[in-house]
Structure 1
Amino acid sequence: MTICLATVLCFGIATHSNAKELTLDDIFPTDRVIDVQITVSEQDWDTIRYQSRNFMSALNESRQFAPIEHPYTYVEASVSIDGVVFPKVGIRKKGFIGSQSNTRPSLKIKLNHIDKEAEIEGLTNLTLNNNQQDMSQVSQFMGYALFNATGSPAPRCAYAKVTVNGKSLGIYSHVESMRKPLLKRAFGNNKGTLYEGTVVDFNKEWENSFEHKRGDDALGREKIIALIDVLADDQVTEEAIGELVDLDSFYRFWAVESLLGFWDSYSGNNNNFFIYLNPETDKFHFLPWGADALFTNFSMVEFQRNSRAPISVKTQGLVAHRLYQLESGRERYAKTMTELLKNHWNETELLAELDRIAAMIQPHLIPGQRAFKGEEWPEKNVTFEDTLETVSHFIRTRESDILQEIADGMPLWKKKPRPPFVMGPDGFDMKQFIQLPEEGLWHAARIGDIPAMKRYIAEGADVNAPDDDLNLSPLAWSALHGQTEAARLLIENGADVNMKDGKRSTPLHSAAVFGRAGVAKLLLENGTDLQARNDDGATPADSLHLDWRTTTFIGSLVGVEVGQEEIATMKTGRNEIAKLFGVDDTFDEAGTSQPQMLSGAVFTGDLTAVKQALADGADPNAQDPQSGSTLLATAALMGHTKVVALLLEHGADINGRSRDGGTALHAAAFLGRIETVKFLLEKGADANLQSNIGGTAMDGAKLDWEFTKAIISMIQIEVDEAEVKAGRTKVIELLSKQPKNVSPSHNLWKAASAGDLSAINDALGDSADLNALDSQFGITPLGWAALNGQTEAAKLLIEKGADVNARNRDGTTPLHSAAFLGRIETVKLLLENGADTTLRSNDGTIPTDVARLDWQLTQFVVGLLQMEVDETEVKAGRTEVIKLISQHNKK
């Protein structure tokens, strides 16, 4: 025992002594892959790799006042770096949102976690990034190298083959941590103050959001506040910014970010950066971080992407934005970019480096990094080489693309940066990402500036073009703000009076919501469609009944004030519009129409009031103008069986649909109203009918309780949980005994999704509609085949006559569906059969746009579609799809 203990102790001393022989050059080579072997207990490994953070916690609104603590904890481990052993280190998971993985987590290794003397030339922390968002594996290695080569300080980066407990995790990027050695190398000192910026910027009252890393925090915060104040001045000068920011280094840093197509950067997304208050200059210097999202022209976040934005410059960061609004700033930026292109963007050398890197790391890639193959297309691999081709294309075209754009000077771009994103208590708030148009025809139409509108139109402005944030046409903006003369001018110049926005609302919907009677009258005189329905199924007449809380919310998005005074005016306007529409609805002082009053009586079960209303000629099949619920469904929801019977006696349609497609049986089943369900079934209610989202009455009775509570809260009623659950159990038992009927088209959608060719032929033999939309998601059979990558099924459907460009309910086509999930072979088939690559969905996206959707949103949509996909496979497929469509468009 004594000998064994002595051996262990000696071994510990030997390994510690041996470790000190490593140098920074040893662990950051550029010509080889270092070997990192980690040994950790399986229990501890499972603990750290399953730790995670989410949007709600990471972007909580409290982060404005202090950085959010990460959820990751250190565990003890041993690490070997090229054979040099550190026997007692700490390791933890790292990563913000996009880089998280349970199987290949990014890691932090703290050499001195236990042994306080452990270091490598002063470096105590190692950073291993998994390249989760970079399938090419080259962004960080090539990106940081270019920053450093241009004189813009950045971390060093190497490649590491990482093994945990004998299992290879493949290639990682080994990135130099922002510690003293890096600062000393970059600035000649390490005594300054360092902060990290993660989705933050120099906005008012955001000074405490920057995460302090080292140095004099009091001095650093004072300087941050000073910079915030300078940037808040609309008359700010370059000189004033230069008092606090080292401009020579900033212009270079900024231009390199843009040159590399680093969209998730400071200038691209106010993210992934450090600022160092250099004691030698007493100014801030910027450094890049998290550079795993390079080599693309536009943001990969859907709601931030703007195809009209310049590709030669990014201005989402406030410092960049303020400088770019100055002529001197644009000139200095152009000079810096031109110099970078001339002296550092050598296409031949960069392509050769790309080839060298590929050869160096390829032997160490694990299968999931080499190729992406799934059940959907077993005959096709999307390879590591395919992803490199995308980078190669960017390199080959980057210089010419930029020079073409800046040939006549830097393009003007005035769009103001959005404030840092926060996730409030109610979750995602789209208002943070919406800006009212402050220029162009949209702005002029919004404020009724007729001379400016005439000037824009004379200069060739498109009178039907939607704006970038809300997808609203100039006519819609004029309707929202009651600018009748502006609307008249637009119509005279060819504006489409039935132009639909992203929610499929027309200008008449907008005018109705805010009681813009003058605009409504003008639109009606020019042939607008009074029966047009938006995504909620509402006509313009239905929009008259939108409640004031929702109206106020919409007003906040589009810049319309909705206070008490405005509401009074809008009520008058809504009454005038109701007369124009030829409907009998009038609004009392509370804004309630007569149909709403009847609906209220049904809701409360006031049998006497309902009897009187029906005796006075009220329509028993009327819908509540606000909720869209039929009277029968409202009574059924509340379990008022006697009111249900009364309505049926007066001619109510037992299977009548509410705006959401649900029936009275749906409503009764949802809250377990067993007696009402029994009565409806006895009177002939159809248990097989589906709502707009495809749910039957029994489906509604099976909804989970958390979702049910949310709906109950929305409709503002109180129920007894135990009573509802018990009632639902009985309802499900009763409905399960009802006869089933399935349409041929239902079988066709199912067969197309599964790729069952025999079932497709059977469904077609039963006269199924080739182009029918399913009731749940509004997708055609060909759309379902495309979504699931069922190429042979898609081929059969096309041969049988399916329309290759048939629209789904949201305006997408089968090509959108295939591109969305990177279904390469299906995209090829669709293109060969005439798929139109330019068709836009209801929200204005073309197929290549949906192939670029950010992964968080993609996961959300996939979840809604009740599908399972492989992230790596989809991302690789999307890359190939974008190339395929681009090549097709060049023919």
Structure 2
Amino acid sequence: MAASAIQAWASPRGARPDITIGCRPSLRPAAEDPVRIFASRSAATPPSTVRSGTRMLARSVGQFPGYSMTAFRARLLSILAGLLLACPAWADADDDLFGAVLQGDAEAVRTTLEKGASPNALGRDDVSALMLAAERGHVDIMRMLLAAGADPAATRSGGITVLMHAAASGKAEAVKLLVDARVDVNARATRNGLSALRVAAATGSVDCARVLLAAGADADEVDASGARLLFTAAGNGSVEMIDLLLEHGGDVNHRREDGYTALDAALERQRWAAAERLLARGAKLEASATGKDAALLKLLELEPVISPDALSLVQVVDLPSPELFRAVMAQDARADYVDENGNNLLMLAAQRHHVTALKALLDAGLDANARNAAGETALALAAGRSEYELMVIGIGIALGQDREKLMKLIFRPAQPSSQSAATARRLEAARLLLAAKSNPDIEDESGDTALMEATRSGDAELVEMLVKAGANTNQRNKAGFTPLLLAAQYGFRDITRTLLEARADPGVKDAEGHTPLELARAAGHEETAALLEGATARM
């Protein structure tokens, strides 16, 4: 279906990498786009189905961060223009054959062939019935068409072969059927140099790749940029494909014309398992474009999937493993990076609640009590809202959300760690830093502490953890606020209870002379006010 093909291209990371390059994202002309290369299924799909799938995709594209809707519409229109034009003439005499192949109905294919349909019938862009069957992996129909005289060596516009379509299906049996028909396994597309083996590498079809390599496919082929198949496998994140290509003589440190390696491809695409395998198989940071200076920073780059409408963090992509960090650091990756705000790698990891990075960096000896230009420690940064939560807030502001609604979303209690991966990561980050002797009472330039940041985050579990670690519950910042005053103002009942149990002073007053009870009442936080009223009466 066209919608599924387009949806695969419109990934959360923006433009899908052109499989002829293998890893580095690039918007190529529609004529050279992989969506069109593998759009034979769309070429046999009625226009109404294409339009329906497109509307569904347009409604969902808003969940992808950083994706321009204007660019999306323009790109989609250029693709759809080609796809709709590529739809076959449904009034052709061979309509029934294409329809039967599309549905995978072998008996209907047999009937249409018996009625005189041509086994070499073509749709627009010279898409044959055999190509359609091959890409959909309908092996029984492929056999039927071949027996009826379909040409296994046929090509369509751009030099795309039947074998390339079969490789895209992921069905090794479909590829083997064509190999047995003695097609050229090393045929390359005229438009972009695509081969069947590169298609298999791009789609992670290891079984198809094995069949092609056994039949003599060139494991050392390069595209126009000088990228070998290993780049494609690494960008796709297929560890098994990486192993297969290396077993067939692939050079793990091969460099593209611009100095880019397969390791760069894996790191850029956040294919952490692939990067780990490449390093284990001999990839060298010094040979890569990323290099020793930026490798650890690269491992800290995580891209969240968010829902702007709900203003919530949906998930964060998988974290790199501790083994990957160890492998990178074993190659003397630079760990002394500091950004323009004085944040070192430990602070950046804490700000992102990147727990595997925190563990690796603490094990490497980074100081848990170091401070950035604003005086913040890694613990204080971990206790606050993550970069991803702040991103959600920023999206809400940009979308013009109702201010009152936005404030309620910002200052709401954090979900329990048992229900929220984001909360669980924040707790684990703080636990690691406290275990490394991070001082919870260090003040930043505003006088804020980790306990104050945890209170603002609404994280009752973290507040309890910090209190047990000895955090001062009555410390004031430069604005005159204590953790209890903050909790009362935000209406965080559970945090208020924890602080009161830890001997926080319910009679404390802010810079304007307001007590916690008065702040809670003024904000309409009745349950919190009731707690404070009882504590005040017991003074």
TM-score (norm 2): 0.32
Q: Which has the higher strand share?
A: 1
- Which has more radius of gyration? 1
Bigger relative contact order (CA 8 A; separation at least 6): 2
